[in-house]
Amino acid sequence: MEKSLILILCTGNSCRSHIAEGILRQALGAHFRIASAGSRPAEFVHPLAIEVMREIDYDLSGHRSKHLGEFMSEKVETVITVCGRADQACPIFPGQMNRHHFPFDDPADAKGTRAEQLAVFRRVRDEIRRVFEAYAAGRLDALRTSAGA
């Protein structure tokens, strides 16, 4: 059986959406396909996003920034936006059943020393982790309930 696709969108697809993709893939990867994209991709994954995800044993170094158009011909079951601009620019995908908006600060906007920027990336990663692990727990509960019905 084909796994349902959960697509995480952010404008630049360089930080928040990749962090969320990694966390959700760890939590749901056996049951869903997880991907991320952007409406105006930055064409890179932010090095500090890669670093803070490595701290929680997830490697983003193989990720690439993608345009949401790459997914327009796919059956997307759920779209989750993680920034306000992506929510406003979010198209409807063929077969899309669910849409959620979980906004987070953009850690790429962090100023200051490298240590201060890392602190912002860690804070946002941890916020994303709390929200997406709770979302994943709900999805897994729903799967167990439907399997037992």
Residues with active-site annotation: 10, 83, 90
User: How far is Cα 115 from Cα 34, in angstroms, rounded to an integer?
Assistant: 30
* C-alpha to C-alpha distance for 104 and 74, rounded to whole angstroms: 26
Q: How far apart are CA 120 and CA 118, in angstroms?
A: 5
**Backbone region of residue 43 per phi and psi (left: phi > 0; alpha: psi in -120 to 50; beta: other values):** left
Is the distance from CB of 41 to CB of 16 less than 8 angstroms? no
